[in-house]
Amino acid sequence: YSWNCSARTDCISEELIRMMADAGCKEIFFGVETGSERMQKIINKHLDIRQVHDTIDVVAKAGIASTVSLIVGFPEETWEDLSQTLEIFLHSARTPNSKPQINILAPLANTPSYIRHKDELVLSDFCSDMCRQGRHQDDEDLQLIRQHPDIFSSFYLAPTPNLDRPILFELREFLTNGIYRFRWLLAAAAQCPGGMAALFLEWVKYRKSLHPELAGSELRSYYRLPLHVNELFDFLRRHSAPQSRKVAILLDFYAAADQADACEEEPGLGRVELDCEEPARPWDVAVRKNYSQIVEFEWDLHEVVEMVKECRTGEPDRGQRFYLVPRRFSKEASVCEVSIYIARVAELCDGKRSVGEIIEALKEVIVVSPESAGGKFYMALIEEARKEGVIAIWRKARRLHRALAPESDLTVSPAV
């Protein structure tokens, strides 16, 4: 089960966390809101920010996932307050199985913030995520929102006299998309002098030099495009890579992954994926899971990630390594290191070749002596790749039905 702990993170002891983990708790939601001690008092939250950092670590150590929810755009907030909130965001980003969120303040109806500022609310192209604003709004919708601000208050914005409102919304898009697409790179870049706040402001200057016209929904769309990723990586190579070995290595890895061949083939119609217990046959088709690709890389990515987590510098180990990189992301799909043997198998599992064809191709890249033992060895490699979740085996439905049918004197040639 999940537990919503939006009230107090400083009331959770390590012993309580262990008890929750033993009881089956899988995830905790922390409504931290702000990383500023000053703002904690203003919003009447009164969390101990130092304890927030410790609690995120304790929860991760117990094997429980966490969501750390943060808010920017308070009327009293300054850039210094926001910078302190970003420190909490990045602590969560550096913590495995923790997911940071950043939201724009929504002046919900009859809340103290709404009551204090209801005469100053502004209707803008951007608003809080609370209202699930679409890319475009119809005139009829906008008219309804204007006529009933007390009902649709979450579509409005509170005044931010100390902060540039467009900057807040671009910050949300920048962090939300970055943490989803390249979490460790973003966390590494934020460890350069000046931290995330300075990095982001430099990035905005660079982005405006390329696309000064972007605003509103078009700016939001930009942050979802591959173009944004390419331009951000170019920026980081100039801004952060010369200062950080971690950033430089991670950028090189993304470049290598971009050049690698992905598995774009779907098994043909009429095929079904076999259970792991069902042995593969020569006529079955093997395909990499999650449209994955095999990336050969010279650095130890695991060590680089550990350096990011611990905010330390150094030179990671160097040597030939192979990584499985999913193109289709999910909770179960992540970059993982595989052996050279599994890598060679996965490279051949493109959704076009049968298991028999893969075995023949393996003979060219992995020599087995005596040759008579090769067949069993290659099949064992394929089964190991399937066991590790690297590949899946698909079979024509009619063959599966025959395999599960009672004994019959009908025989099927692998050549069919």
What would the two tokens of residue 138 be? 């119809």
233, HSE (Cβ side, Cα atoms, 13 Å): 16
Judge contact between 70 and 33, C-beta under 8 A: yes
Give the C-alpha separation, 362 to 358, whole Å: 6
Give the C-alpha separation, 171 to 190, whole Å: 13
What would the two tokens of residue 18 be? 């262990």
What letter represents residue 278's amino acid? E
- What is the pLDDT confidence band of residue 231, given thresholds at 50, 70 and 90? very high
Report helix, strand and coil shares of the chain as percent, to nearest 5: 50, 15, 35
Judge contact between 323 and 336, C-beta under 8 A: yes
Of 85-94, 115-124, 287-296, the poorest mean pLDDT is in: 115-124
Least Cα distance to 10 among 42, 43, 55, 65 occurs for 55
Length of the chain: 416
- What is the pLDDT confidence band of residue 410, given thresholds at 50, 70 and 90? very low
Average pLDDT, the chain: 87
ω into 370 cis (within 30 of 0): yes
Judge contact between 165 and 191, C-beta under 8 A: no
Least Cα distance to 71 among 161, 193, 133, 158 occurs for 158
What is the pLDDT at residue 414? 33
Give the C-alpha separation, 159 to 170, whole Å: 17
What is the pLDDT at residue 248? 97
Percent of the chain predicted with pLDDT > 90: 63
pTM of the model: 0.83
* DSSP 8-state assignment for residue 289: G
What would the two tokens of residue 90 be? 């990045």
Residue with tokens 């170019």: 234
User: What are the distances in angstroms from CA 150 to CA 113, 115, 133, 136?
Assistant: 13, 10, 17, 22
> Would the pLDDT of 6 be above 90?
no
Tens of pLDDT along 361-402? 999 999 988 888 888 999 999 999 999 999 999 998 764 445
Cα angle 113, 118, 122; round to 5:
105
If residue 354 lies in a helix (H) or strand (E), which one and from where to where? strand 350-354
User: What are the distances in angstroms from CA 64 to CA 17, 20, 92, 155, 306?
Assistant: 9, 9, 13, 34, 19
